[in-house]
Structure 1
Amino acid sequence: MSKQFKHTTQERRSSIIYSNNNGKGGLFSPQDYISGDKTQAFIDDDISEDSEDSLFATNNSRTLQHEYGSTGRTGSSDSSEIHSALPKNLIREERDLLMDNKLYNSNHALHNHAAYSTNDPNSSFAPTSSIEDQEVIETWEDAIESGKDINTTFKREAIVITSNASPLVLTFILQNSLSLASIFSVSHLGSNELGAVTLGSMTASITGFAAIQGLCTCLDTLCAQAYGGNHYHLVGVLFQRCAIITIILSLPVLFTWWQWSEQILALFIPERELCALAAKYLQIVSLGIPAFILFECGKRFLQCQGIFHASSIVLLVCAPLNALMNYVLVWDKNIGIGYLGAPISVVLNYWLMALGLFAYTLYTKNEKNPMKCWNGFIKPHQILKNSRKMFNLALPGIIMVEAEFLGFEILTIFASHLGTHELAAQSIISTIASLAYQVPFSISISTSTRVANFIGASLYRSCVITCKVSLLLSFIISSLNMAMIYKARYLIARLFSSEPDVVRLVSSSLPILAFMQIFDAFNASTAGCLRGQGQQKIGGYINVFAFYCIGIPVSYLLTFHYGFGVSGLWWGITSGLVFMSIFQSYAVFHCNWNDIIRAAKSRNSEGAMV
């Protein structure tokens, strides 16, 4: 993910951190509700109570941003150190913006290079590129400090947002394909099997995976801050502590899945055969929960060090293997075992993902060397130390992720009361909706970063341009999604099921899903803008109200009181998304930009993470 303007002064940088495991809306993160000084107090407490940790806590008040935050003529740091610390693409980005605004001429650096070599015979003759980098940094700082306008263009923002979003699309589609492969492979076994795998996976999500993801989000704050303060050993301690505590807390849930899942599901689901099959799914999937926890914690262990591509590399290997294993274990004449092959594939892939991330960490040649954050296994007395403060950080993440998953679990329960065929159709439509969402969601992430960068640089006019471009790109993508879903609705239905009743229900509901794409994409885009502005709470309130006060109630009324069936579920969700898109758009473009910029500066001055 791009981090433009990272070397602008500390007061101008945004404090936004994005976590990509916060549910479909992507609006919430624990650090949005916990001030930075509290998390820093947690870090300091962890270090002060353990003398061994203190050995690794050198330069605890210095981060890369503090060290290189002030640059140019007034900076105290050596320019060669600044150049070596800053990624070239960030400097090029600022150079291009300066050139767009006629504030910088690339030939100027060449003249300075000649001056350096002529007037300073004792100089080391820095390369021309270093001289140009220095000129860009100084020109940018001078332009900001003198109040000159630096505005971007629609064309530039379209290019930047698209290029930043492109690799994310691949990652999210690969991650989404893990559940897609199970549903696709089981769908041709029959409606009961398809309904059961949907019910089982949704129950696993709401009672297990959502809570795990929410709990692990505390590492987005804690590990990032520990690493930023050069407490490398503490990063490894936090990773192990979170993983161990999460595994311990998951044990009662896993025991419940094994012993009482069928009885509990029967309280909500009228079809007892579906409950029995879903219970078997839960029992097998429980064996992969420890691996899933290690993967989620390990992913954050690497991401706090700026290594974002490791999980993508692992998924590039595991996603195709998952599809292959689903085919072999479900359908192969010699090895296939039918329905149970799907959850077995899930378990095997979770362990492969965890082992893959471990192998990357151990053997990577990455110059950042993630093993510097590892100093052996955690001591027993360290496991529960500061756990209360860790939960204080994790609780908002757990609540918000659970709220997202719970909403779709409610829709699944609604569909189960309509019949087996309706539940099977609902699972197929939900799968298509999730897959179609990945592109606008990637644009949303790219937008949030870009807007946050401009706010950090106090360039609010450029923020407005970025938000408009994001909406335009979302409209284009959603229009393509809408056209493809509508035109291919019969093909999609037949790909997932061979039962005529299921095909009919899916094909009749997909036009509604196609129409929904416009507002689903607008929701993603405006959510990204709000994240970048630091207005997550406003977006969160709109999201929860639209989903639980409009979307789900309307779904219930249309489905059960007006006889719309499965189509009613999706008309209800669409109505919630319409409300969400309108009010989030209003919040984005009718905000007080001066207050937003002041809030970002205040968060940074109080020590919030960047």
Structure 2
Amino acid sequence: MSKQFKHTTQERRSSVIYSNSNGKGGLFSPQDYITGDKTPAFIDDDISENTEESLLATNNSRTLQEEYGSLGRAGSSDSTEIQSVLPKNLIQEERDLLMDNKLYNSNYGAYNRSSYHSTDLNAAIAPTSSVEDQEVIETWEDAIESGKNINTTFKREAIVITTNASPLVLTFILQNSLSLASIFSVSHLGSNELGAVTLGSMTANITGFAAIQGLCTCLDTLCAQAYGGNHHHLVGVLFQRCAIITIVLSLPILFVWWQWSEQMLALFIPERELCALAAKYLQVVALGIPAFILFECGKRFLQCQGIFHASSIVLLICAPLNAVMNYVLVWDKNIGIGYLGAPISVVLNYWLMALGLFAYTYFTKNEINPMKCWNGVIKPRQILKNSKKMFNLALPGIIMVEAEFLGFEILTIFASHLGTSELAAQSIISTIASLAYQVPFSISISTSTRVANFIGASLYHSCVITCKVSLLLSFIISSLNMALIYKSRFLIARLFSSEPDVVNLVSGTLPILALMQIFDAFNASTAGCLRGQGQQKVGGYINVFAFYCIGIPVSYVLTFHYGFGVSGLWWGISSGLVIMSVCQSYAVFHCNWNEIIRAAKSRNSEGAMV
């Protein structure tokens, strides 16, 4: 079964966290840095005396490959059992590859064997779908065991990657639109207001959202382990425990936002007016923090059960509402209140997102029935139980998310020392960079899943083809982004601001951003390949080195020592992305494939034994 063609990174499709940051270093989730620990991640004595034996012995989230690993090749002649275990899309992928390699004929392959085992002529002529699926599974097994070559094609990989990436593009753009709406609505009020939103958002990210999201990453492991061990009600306990602890820990931060945010910002930002406006932003956004925590925890509560689309459905509703609210609360002549309308819109949407997720959980007709993991409100004595285990998983997550957020926010601090117009321009350029990044990032997620599929099937030659196709698609997309940004640079600048200084700064820097698209896309693509190979730590270390040792120092030198201004910030980041892309490409194509496959088999066998 270890050679079954399977998804190994399905969770990552929906685990991408929303943030106002570009997150160029955030291609590797915090979970990537805390896998491989062989000690039990979580034990709760509320369930049973045998909990320690029943829960996973590793910190790895239980993936689809592990879910189906112990059953798919059990040798049962009951095709219904196999069909119920293996997802239909996985069998279809095997069928397509077998047909490409002329090892299976969909018109005749399944008919041959079924006719031998049935005295019913109609059954032989029109076999059931389950019989066909069984035929595909057995044909694939036979091909692998006999050493036959199964290779994919450039055409098939291009189709698969683009098909899988398409819905992700929509989801990520909807996520990005939440911050885009605030930036766009406030930018026309003036450079001071735009700079204040940027500073407020930056401070909220570093001191609040990053820590919250890092803490919530512990549920990626704990809930998945509990659910995989059939301790369904424990999933609800873990969800509540994490939410309560995170809300309690956030209260001191929110108090600081309310009382001392202006003084705190004044330590780093010279313009006092910007600090005052940013402090007001923080005071309003603080009201939405509990809802944000509930949404992040609730999202993971559903994801561990295999429900990945709930947050996308909620975003399809809330993202358009957010845009409407920003217009009404900022610009409407009767209701609009100007600058503060933007953070109020953020708060309202956080609460709507949390309520929407809970409404889905309660009312959904999904056959998985997520309410089976809810066993009532947590008891007070359960809140702090085993919290040490939770923090052991959460702290690495906090560190990695903070590192991601801090990197690009340092550039915002640099820009604030150049002037109000420069800070406003930096905010607009960062927003465009983040929006342009969504397509290559979606390709990256699709690539990581596809590469992991082939690794699980020991087909590393097909992995190489997938990686090459991913780079090619990234180059095509980035070329289109580059052309669009360059040709529309004056229009983009005027859409976001009517102030001549800001427009000139933005339009003068966007050509640099346009050139950066090539390396930004290569960075995303190669990171996806590394995730699929299981080399997340390698990619993460390259990210940290390229960003903090190359990108940010070069940005500082060019901006403040050579007078490049805002352009210097983006030349520096571009240099970091060049190093990042080159190093990651080398790691992808010069890896030890045998060792990667061996490690994958080891992980899968561990999952199958649980």
Which TM-score applies when normalising by structure 1? 0.93
Partner of 1:20: 16
Distance 1:568 1:555 in 2: 5
AA paired with 1:603?
Answer: R
The alignment status of 1:485 with 2:453, answered yes or no, reads: no
User: 2-side partners of 1:592 and 1:119: how far apart?
Assistant: 52
* Residues 593-604 of structure 1 aligned to structure 2 (within 5 Å): 593-604=593-604
The answer to whether the Cα contact below 8 Å between 1:512 and 1:567 also exists between their aligned partners in 2 is: yes
Aligned to 1:331: 331
Separation (CA, whole Å) in 1 of partners of 2:125 and 2:54: 33
Deviation sequence 1:300-329 (CA, Å, 0-9, x none): 111111111111110010000000000000
Amino acid at match of 2:174: L
Specify the alignment match of 2:109 in structure 1: 108
* AA matched with 1:396: P
Letter of the 2:165 counterpart: A
Cα distance in structure 1, aligned partners of 2:353 and 2:436 = 24
Report SS of the residue matched to 2:543. helix
| C-alpha contact (below 8 Å) 1:222/1:238 kept by paired residues | yes
Q: Using the alignment, how far apart are the partners of 1:309 and 1:86 within structure 2?
A: 20
Structure 1 residues 239 and 468, CA gap change in structure 2 (3 angstroms)? same
Q: Is the 8 A contact 1:425 1:502 kept in 2?
A: yes
8 A contact 1:214–1:397 mirrored in 2: yes
Name the CA distance, whole Å, in 2 between partners of 1:104 and 1:70. Answer: 25
Shift of 1:383: 1.1
Residue 331 of structure 1 aligns to which amino acid in structure 2?
W
Q: Which amino acid aligns with 1:529?
A: C
Partner of 1:268: 268
The Cα of 1:113 is off from its aligned counterpart by 2.6
The range that moved more, 105-114 or 477-486, is: 105-114
Aligned-partner residue type, residue 412 of structure 1:
T
Q: Determine whether 1:185 maps to 2:181.
A: no
Larger CA deviation: 395-404 vs 321-330: 395-404
Aligned pairs for 1:365-444 within 5 A: 365-444=365-444
Which deviates more, 449-458 or 188-197? 449-458
Residue in structure 2 matched with residue 82 of structure 1 by the alignment = 82
CA gap of 1:188–1:10, structure 2 versus 1, over 3 A, is same
Q: Deviations over 1:151-187 (max 9, x none)?
A: 1110000000001010010001001100100000000
Say if 1:425 and 1:505, in contact at 8 Å, map to a contact too: yes
Contact 1:36–1:606 under 8 Å retained in 2: no
User: Do the aligned partners of residues 77 and 223 (structure 1) sit closer, same or farther apart at CA in structure 2, a change above 3 Å counting?
Assistant: farther
Residue pair 1:418, 1:565 contacting (<8 A) in 2 also: yes
- Equivalent residue number for residue 50 of structure 1: 46
Letter aligned with residue 96 of structure 2: D
Q: How does 1:123-138 map to 2 (within 5 A)?
A: 127-138=127-138
Q: How much does 1:110 deviate?
A: 1.7
User: Which residue identity lines up with residue 542 of structure 1 in the other structure?
Assistant: I
Q: How does 1:469-508 map to 2 (within 5 A)?
A: 469-508=469-508
CA RMSD in angstroms, aligned pairs only: 2.7
- Matches of 1:60 and 1:99, distance apart in 2: 37
Deviation at 1:10, TM superposition (A): 7.8
Aligned twin of 1:224: 224
Which amino acid counterpart does residue 605 of structure 2 have in structure 1? S
Q: Name the aligned partner's letter for residue 434 of structure 2.
A: S
596-605 vs 20-29, greater mean Cα deviation: 20-29
Report the Cα offset of residue 608 of structure 1: 9.3
Stretches of structure 2 lacking an aligned partner (at least 5 in a row): none
| 1:505–1:604 distance in 2 versus 1, CA, 3 Å | same
1:32: Cα distance to partner? 3.6
Q: Secondary structure at the match of 1:117?
A: coil
In the superposition, the TM-score normalised over structure 2's length comes to 0.93
Q: Structure 1 residues 562 and 51, CA, compared in 2 at 3 Å: closer, same or farther?
A: closer
After superposition, residues 239-278 of structure 1 pair within 5 angstroms as 239-278=239-278
Q: What letter is aligned with 2:41?
A: F
| Shift, 1:407, TM fit | 0.9
SS where residue 286 of structure 1 aligns? helix
Q: What secondary structure does 2:168 align onto?
A: helix
Corresponding residue for 1:29? Answer: 30
Distance 1:535 1:485 in 2: 33
Q: How many residues align?
A: 598
Alignment correspondent of 1:301: 301
1-side partners of 2:497 and 2:5: how far apart? 56
Distance across 2 between alignment mates of 1:406 and 1:269: 16
Query: Do the aligned partners of residues 171 and 324 (structure 1) sit closer, same or farther apart at CA in structure 2, a change above 3 Å counting?
Result: same
Residue 241 of structure 1 and its aligned partner are, at CA, apart by: 1.0
Displacement of 1:604 after TM fit? Answer: 2.9
Q: For 2:56 and 2:556, how far apart are their aligned partners in 1?
A: 54
1:398-453 residue CA offsets vs partner (Å, 9 max, x unmatched): 11111111011110010000000000000000000000000000000000111111
Task: Go from structure 1 to structure 2 and tell me whether the alpha carbon gap of 1:461 and 1:503 turns closer, same or farther (over 3 Å shift).
Answer: same
Q: CA deviation at 1:378?
A: 1.1
Q: Distance in 2 between matches of 1:287 and 1:411?
A: 27
AA partner of residue 470 (structure 1): S
Which amino acid in 2 is paired with 1:502?
V
Change (3 A) 1:500 1:126: same
SS at 1:151 equivalent: coil
Judged with a 3 Å threshold, the aligned counterparts in structure 2 of structure 1 residues 567 and 256 are, in CA distance, closer, same or farther, namely: same
How much has 1:196 moved relative to structure 2? 0.1
CA distance in structure 2 between the aligned counterparts of 1:313 and 1:13, rounded to whole angstroms: 23
In the other structure, the counterpart of 1:516 is 516
Q: What displacement does 1:257 show? A: 0.4
Distance in 2 (alpha carbons) for counterparts of 1:78 and 1:270: 73
Does the aligned pair in 2 maintain the 1:30–1:395 contact within 8 Å?
no
Residues 13 and 513 (structure 1), Cα distance of their counterparts in 2 relative to 1, 3 Å cut? closer
C-alpha distance 187-419 of structure 1, shift in aligned 2 (>3 A): same
| Residue pair 1:551, 1:572 contacting (<8 A) in 2 also | yes
User: Could you report, residue by residue, the CA deviation over 1:12-47 in whole angstroms, capped at 9, with x for unpaired residues?
Assistant: 985785342394332133254232643xx234x21x
